[in-house]
A and B are shown apart, each in its own frame.
Chain A
């Protein structure tokens, strides 16, 4: 039971990172109907910025993190303006491929800053351990859950209560009608990229706690894809649920698969999200909370 709870908490911790990323994916998808494969690059960019702000500029972690989020959001804005905006109206597949190109190019530059080894992000938790009864958990997992809970609640409030949030929901619902109501859809695109960039930076930094980030960390960004498929591409709430589910499944598989299904091979947990995704898609092609597409010919 203790084992199970520990796996559950670490799963929820990592899952909340996926949830942050997945929410970023969904926000972009809702505004542009495009999946941005550039998220992994933004994730490592954010984490590297925190690392440099922390160690080369000597800033406090709690100052470096928001600053890096803002800077990454700016980078996302530039990407959106230069590479995405000219492609409005082109097939979504083409736009998605462009984001792959952006991802490759940006990551090369970022890798240059990471260097060959791992770079610490200088988080205040490090190896600290908490005991909750018999359950021993790393403190960072609790912080991940807390930060994600706060950020996601703020985002929900933003979408629900602010004028800009309302504009974004309107643009996601119907771009032309939104335009007719005086909403600048271009600004909505830009804002959604900025939010997604900031979320990716936050997720990257959280993922880099304790062990630091290296040139392979970006793969984490793609783990959010099963999460958004699971939740449905156009559901922010679904993205959170999907992210947490993917994290928990991964943790559970890594805890129990060695004992019960050793023939699946080592590190099967790393690909288990994709298996989960395939199973869900066979049963519900639009995810758990996604809107089924109705097409007229």
Chain B
């Protein structure tokens, strides 16, 4: 990684002097980035011993949601192809994972395979479906495409409702995928390397490692030739084609990669939650992922993760609100002006509106502004 850099003596005092493209577009191209990533990873590794199981489960869910959000950001943020159909691909992944790993003697179809098989398969099945959407993406753009992908969500909901031997039917559902790797169960408490871990601690570590892999992969896609082609397509698709970016190929690729991420995230999400309800892959789920991308930061990987963590923690935060605001009721049926679930839904809406109007770059943008402020402090620039 240091290949393109000049010798130490020439760089002294000029840490951001790059003499090659490789060094400039490296994964961790500045020292603060290297230190910060190391610190965050270290923190994430010790966190399971500091927090309660309850919170760990939410964090594990947030990590999985991050994978899905990165996927959506690749197609919508980097490649500029608006997709409201993310829920459909999440659903495909979830059910593929559940079918492959499920109990062969259960009420719904199951093949009893292990994590190493079902996880890639979940991604691949969703990716194949993403490839099928590509012809529409090539022919349409903008809002026409958004509506087509919206239609996909409704068709998917119908499909999941009807295929009861796979999905278990609306309101009933089926067990989620079983995270079993060569006989090791991530969903049961047990001893690992001499340390006793609970189910949620194991889940947390599994999801964290997978997120790390998928995030680095996503970052690599974004900073490579593929990512640059995506950006060209996003900024002006005809101009991109004129300068030699094959439009069909890259639009198809964007949807395929994004759906792969969605499939993986879908399967993992219901590994954490435990039960898949076929009615949950609706428009609201798609909007949640759109919200993660927009609130986190369009066309950034770290922003996707921030957005996903924020949106996943939102219900937990709103649950604390009734303690401070007496007119918000805690229960589903209580009095007051709103209950917490309604408050949560309204917050989704208002946060999306607020971020788009006031900080279009999302949480990532807030971070950039804070960073730039302190970079020049106490001077204004």
Decide if A100 is an interface residue (CB 8 Å cutoff): yes
Are the CB atoms of B143 and A35 closer together than 8 Å?
A: yes
Are the CB atoms of B342 and A94 closer together than 8 Å?
A: no
Q: Which stretch of B58-66, B132-140, B189-197, B366-374 is in the interface?
A: B132-140
Q: Which B residues are in CB contact (< 8 Å) with A107?
A: 345
| Cross-chain pairs A/B with CB under 8 angstroms, 21 sampled | A87-B356, A87-B357, A94-B360, A101-B348, A101-B356, A102-B349, A104-B287, A105-B345, A108-B338, A108-B345, A109-B346, A112-B342, A222-B154, A226-B147, A226-B151, A265-B161, A268-B158, A271-B157, A278-B136, A281-B144, A297-B239
Decide if B14 is an interface residue (CB 8 Å cutoff): no
Are the CB atoms of B143 and A100 closer together than 8 Å?
A: no
Decide if A43 is an interface residue (CB 8 Å cutoff): no
Are the CB atoms of B136 and A108 closer together than 8 Å?
A: no
Q: Which A residues are in CB contact (< 8 Å) with B155?
A: 271, 274-275
Are the CB atoms of A100 and B290 closer together than 8 Å?
A: yes
Decide if B352 is an interface residue (CB 8 Å cutoff): yes
Are the CB atoms of A92 and B143 closer together than 8 Å?
A: yes
Chain B residues touching A, majority SS = helix
Decide if B47 is an interface residue (CB 8 Å cutoff): no
Decide if B104 is an interface residue (CB 8 Å cutoff): no
Q: Which has the most chain A C-beta neighbours within 10 Å: B136, B150, B338?
A: B150
From B157, B345, B353, contact of A98 by CB (8 A): B353
- Say how far B276's CB is from chain A's closest CB, in angstroms: 19
Question: Complex: how many Å from CA A276 to CA B229?
Answer: 33
Decide if A285 is an interface residue (CB 8 Å cutoff): yes
Decide if B245 is an interface residue (CB 8 Å cutoff): no
On chain A, the number of residues with a Cβ less than 8 Å from chain B's Cβ atoms is 45
Q: Which B residues are in CB contact (< 8 Å) with A225?
A: 147, 150-151
From A83, A100, A112, A295, contact of B338 by CB (8 A): A112
Are the CB atoms of B349 and A295 closer together than 8 Å?
A: no
Binding site for B on A (CB under 8 A): 34-35, 83, 86-87, 90, 92-94, 96-98, 100-109, 111-112, 222, 225-226, 229, 233, 265-268, 270-271, 274-275, 277-278, 281-282, 285-286, 295, 297
Query: Given A225-B147, A226-B151, do A103 and B349 touch, yes or no (CB 8 Å)?
Result: yes
Question: Complex: how many Å from CA A297 to CA B338?
Answer: 50
Are the CB atoms of A271 and B143 closer together than 8 Å?
A: no
Q: Which A residues are in CB contact (< 8 Å) with B287?
A: 100, 104
Question: Complex: how many Å from CA A246 to CA B137?
Answer: 23
Decide if B148 is an interface residue (CB 8 Å cutoff): yes
Are the CB atoms of B346 and A108 closer together than 8 Å?
A: yes
Are the CB atoms of B294 and A278 closer together than 8 Å?
A: no
Q: Which A residues are in CB contact (< 8 Å) with B249?
A: none
A116 to B, closest residue via Cβ: B333
Q: Which B residues are in CB contact (< 8 Å) with A34?
A: 143
Question: Complex: how many Å from CA A226 to CA B290?
Answer: 21
A287 to B, closest residue via Cβ: B144
Are the CB atoms of B146 and A35 closer together than 8 Å?
A: yes
